[in-house]
Amino acid sequence: MENKYTVGSLYAGVGGICLGFEKSGFTLKWANEFDKKACITYRNNFKHNLIEGDVMELDVTSLEKVDILTAGFPCQPFSLAGHRKGFNDSRGNHFFKILDFIDEMRPKVVFLENVKNLRGHDKGNTLKVIQSEIKKRNYTFDSSVLNTKDFGNTPHNRERLFMIAFDKEFVNNKKFKFQFPEKEHLTKSLQDLIITDKVPDKFYYTEDKYMYNMLKESVVNKNHIYQFRRQYVRENKSGLCPTLTANMGTGGHNVPIIITDHGFRKLTPRECFRLQGFPDEYKLPAISNSSLYKQAGNSVSMPVIQRLAAEIFKVIEKVEAKKLKTEKA
The pLDDT of residue 77: 55
**241 is an active site residue:** no
The answer to whether 27 and 88 have CB atoms below 8 angstroms apart is no
pLDDT value of residue 81: 47
Side by side, which strands form the sheet with 257-260?
232-236, 225-229, 257-260, 263-266
pLDDT value at residue 180: 98
Residue ranges, comma separated, of all CATH 3.90.120.10 domains in the chain are 190-297
Given this model, what pLDDT does residue 120 score?
86
* pLDDT mean by block of 10 residues, the chain; 329 residues: 84 98 97 97 96 93 96 66 55 81 97 92 83 95 97 97 97 92 96 94 90 89 89 89 91 88 94 97 96 96 98 95 79
pLDDT score of 85: 59
Predicted pLDDT of residue 138: 96
- Where in the chain do CATH 3.40.50.150 domains reside? 6-184+301-328
The three-state DSSP-derived secondary structure of the chain is CCCCCEEEEECCCCCHHHHHHHHCCCEEEEEEECCHHHHHHHHCCCCCEEEECCHHHCCHHHCCCCCEEEECCCCHHHCCCCCCCHHHCHHHHHHHHHHHHHHHHCCCEEEEEEEHHHHHHHHHHHHHHHHHHHHHCCECCEEEEEEHHHHCCCCECCEEEEEEEEEHHHHCCCCCCCCCCCCCCCCCCHHHHCCCCCCCHHHECCCCCCCHHHHHHHCCCCCCEEEEECCEEEEECCCCECCCCHHHHHCCCCCCEEEECCEEEECCHHHHHHHCCCCCCCCCCCCCHHHHHHHHHHCCCHHHHHHHHHHHHHHHHHHHHHHHHHHHC
**How far apart are the C-alpha atoms of 319 and 162, rounded to whole Å?**
22
Strand partners, 142: 164
Looking at residue 174, its pLDDT comes to 83
* Assigned CATH topology for domain 6-184+301-328: Rossmann fold (3.40.50)
The pLDDT score that the predictor gives to residue 122 is 77
Q: Which superfamily does CATH assign the domain made up of 190-297 to?
A: DNA Methylase, subunit A, domain 2 (3.90.120.10)
Q: Looking at residue 240, what is its pLDDT?
A: 94
What confidence score (pLDDT) does residue 75 get? 56
18, 39, 75, 272: the catalytic one is 75
pLDDT at 250: 85
